[in-house]
């Protein structure tokens, strides 16, 4: 039996409890608000798992029932779950904790069925805010169904915050030039998702770029006037440049007004107490139109003044501001000049991420969230082992330095090529290690995730995927950089040998995925196609990378043309999988790259 996050106290006892079809879910009379929704959630899950749905009642319980109640002596998010022969008793300090207890019970039923082992669990989180940050800008804009499914998953693993990263992917008024070629989220989408999240005890926090990372906005004729680097407005789209050139010109008074209007329009859609202004990676600041101002004041001062004014504006609107801490970590003493309400989002994604920034910000008096990453950007399949190392380290720093929260990030650099579902393992790492300071070993937690999330009776699913992820010899970053800049750092004498060996292992993974289909939950088997398509993409691009590695890979012309056709057939399947969870969004940009390579393969010299 596994439970994730692992409970703080979990005492096994003798005996079994039978979840009889005649039992009831009895809600104490003192419990109000969302409890019927939570009881209904449990009821529907029991029907799905067992084939029958216990009735929901209010008031006294009888032997064999599931009793849900409030105990005011417990913490708000604390729950006690007692499973004995006579019944199931779940109490909490609030309805938030009751939901967490219900999620624990759901996980137990999914593994043990109607005969539950008797036990007593006492549990509460170590970190107050346990969030997930999902990029819905740099390639994929999710369907509403997939966003709600994400909220369900976050709740299942006891997370309580969600942020969607917005640059240009929301339908802002008077910005049709920005979103005219896209499929943006609308105000109604946000309102619907906010209400859905709220019922699951998830705070949907608004997050919108207001300083840097405004590439598409600043390339328009309407808003290009606010761009720090005017030459960038005239250049063709580039995935690489989108990550590096995108900053507002602080010397233009219209820039701060533009940012405030973004906040003013977006903020009322959310019931959250927070607002994330982002303000990260302002690479161009002081190097273009604001150069003269920077020479007088200094780039750090320009950054601080702009961020401070935006934070004060957010506070005036009754919200608590957040911003990314990568810039201010270079001069952390400036934290004291910002309003005391400000939360600094301290990110770092390296497998061996150092402790320095977290300690420096702590010593400077910053209120901070620690922000690891799930390792999916620029990859067909997430780098699972790297993300495990990163998330365990960053969560340990969060506990050590008393961080207010952990915000686990899922970025979509260069078109968000990976299927969002592939980030689930990293999501669960973040949930587990922000809740409980004690960390499971890599193989141990992977086995538990395989069982709980995927219903994999072999317990090997996650490990199989983890082994495949590093097998991209010509990964998506290299794919894009070769097209945009002719970057050939991938083209070494070892490329051909590495590609051949990697593809052999990837082909072996495909066989294992097919063989393991029947050991997984039926509802999870559809995900296998997404993995198979991703693995085929890795194999294809490994072959393509080898084919163009300075002619070292001796492939006949017809074989290259065959590879081009293979790529085009593969992309047909890739688009089909994309559309199961995402709107069209920037699929066309990924398509442009695929077509470019297909054409290249047909023209390469033998």
Per domain, the residue ranges of the chain are 9-123, 129-439, 461-603
In this structure, the dihedral spanned by the alpha carbons of residues 207, 213, 216 and 221, taken in order and rounded to 10 degrees, is: 110
Which of 78, 95, 281, 453 is the catalytic position? 281
Report the pLDDT value the prediction gives residue 550, as an integer from 0 to 100.
62
Give the span between the Cα atoms of 517 and 524, in whole angstroms. 9
Question: Catalytic site residue 305?
Answer: no
CATH fold of 9-123 reads: Chitobiase; domain 2 (3.30.379)
Measured between alpha carbons, how far is residue 533 from residues 378, 502, 562 in Å? 16, 16, 18
Question: In 180-287, which ranges are continuous DSSP H helix?
Answer: 187-199, 215-218, 239-242, 253-266
Measured between alpha carbons, how far is residue 265 from residues 170, 173, 355, 445 in Å? 11, 8, 37, 42
Q: What is the DSSP letter of 237?
A: P
Q: Decide: helix, strand or coil at residue 307.
A: helix
**pLDDT 10s digits, 237-257:** 999 999 988 999 999 999 999
**pLDDT 10s digits, 398-411:** 999 999 999 999 99
Quick one: 129-439 is in which CATH superfamily? Glycosidases (3.20.20.80)
Q: What is the DSSP letter of 29?
A: T
Q: Which of 461, 596, 576, 568 is nearest to 515 (CA)?
A: 461
Residue ranges in the chain modelled with pLDDT below 70: 33, 550-559, 605-606
Report the pLDDT value the prediction gives residue 606, as an integer from 0 to 100.
46
């Amino acid at each position: 039996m596994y439970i994730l996050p692992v409970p703080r106290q979990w005492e096994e006892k003798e005996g079994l409890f039978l979840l009889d079809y005649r039992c009831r879910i009895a809600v104490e009379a003192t419990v109000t608000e969302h409890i019927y929704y939570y009881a209904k959630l449990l009821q529907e899950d029991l029907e799905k798992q067992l084939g029958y749905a216990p009735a929901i009642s209010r008031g006294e319980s009888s032997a064999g029932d599931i009793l849900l109640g409030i105990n005011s002596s417990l913490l708000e998010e604390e729950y006690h779950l007692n499973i004995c022969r006579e019944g199931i008793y779940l109490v909490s300090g609030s309805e938030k904790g009751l939901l967490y207890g219900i999620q624990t019970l759901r996980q137990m039923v999914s593994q043990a069925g109607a005969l539950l082992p008797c036990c007593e669990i006492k549990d509460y989180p170590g970190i107050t805010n346990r969030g997930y940050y999902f990029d819905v800008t740099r390639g994929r804009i999710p369907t509403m169904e997939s966003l709600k499914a994400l909220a369900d998953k976050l709740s299942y693993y006891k997370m309580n915050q969600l942020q969607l990263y917005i640059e240009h992917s929301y339908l802002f008024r008077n910005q049709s030039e920005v979103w005219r070629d896209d499929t943006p989220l609308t105000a109604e989408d946000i309102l619907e998702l906010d209400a859905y999240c709220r019922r699951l005890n998830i705070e949907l926090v608004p997050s919108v770029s207001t300083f840097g990372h405004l590439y598409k906005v600043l390339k328009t004729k309407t808003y290009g006037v606010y761009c720090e680097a005017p030459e960038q407005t005239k250049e063709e789209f580039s995935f690489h440049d989108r990550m590096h050139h995108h900053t507002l010109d602080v010397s233009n008074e219209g820039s701060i007004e533009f940012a405030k209007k973004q906040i003013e329009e977006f903020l009322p859609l959310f019931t959250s107490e927070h607002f994330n202004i982002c303000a990260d990676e302002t690479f161009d600041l002081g190097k273009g139109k604001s150069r003269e101002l920077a020479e007088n004041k200094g780039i750090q001062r320009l950054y601080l003044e702009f961020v401070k004014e935006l934070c004060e504006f957010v506070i005036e609107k009754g919200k608590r501001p957040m911003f990314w801490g990568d810039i201010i970590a270079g001069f952390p003493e400036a934290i004291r000049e910002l309003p005391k309400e400000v939360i600094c989002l301290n990110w770092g994604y390296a497998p061996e991420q150092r402790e320095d920034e977290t300690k420096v910000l702590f010593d400077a008096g910053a209120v901070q969230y620690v922000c690891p990453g799930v390792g999916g950007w620029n990859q067909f399949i997430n780098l699972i082992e790297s993300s495990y190392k990163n998330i365990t380290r960053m969560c340990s720093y969060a506990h050590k330095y008393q961080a207010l929260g952990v915000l686990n990030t899922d970025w979509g650099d260069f078109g968000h090529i990976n299927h969002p579902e592939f980030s689930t393992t990293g999501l669960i790492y973040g949930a587990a290690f922000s809740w409980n300071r004690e960390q499971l070993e890599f193989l141990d937690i992977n086995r538990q995730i395989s069982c709980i999330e995927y219903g994999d009776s072999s317990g090997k699913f996650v490990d199989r995927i983890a082994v495949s992820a590093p097998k991209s010899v010509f990964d998506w970053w290299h794919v894009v950089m070769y097209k945009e800049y002719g970057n050939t750092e991938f083209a070494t004498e070892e490329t051909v040998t590495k590609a051949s060996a990697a593809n052999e292992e990837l082909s072996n993974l495909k066989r294992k995925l097919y063989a393991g289909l029947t050991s997984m939950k039926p509802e999870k088997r559809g995900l296998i196609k997404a993995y198979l398509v991703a693995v085929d993409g890795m194999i294809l691009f490994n072959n393509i990378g080898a084919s163009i590695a300075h002619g070292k890979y001796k492939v006949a012309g017809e074989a290259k043309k065959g590879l081009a056709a293979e790529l085009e057939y593969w992309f047909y399947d890739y688009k089909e999988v994309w559309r199961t969870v995402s709107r069209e969004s920037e699929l066309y940009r990924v398509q442009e790259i695929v077509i470019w390579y297909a054409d290249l393969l047909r023209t390469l010299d033998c």
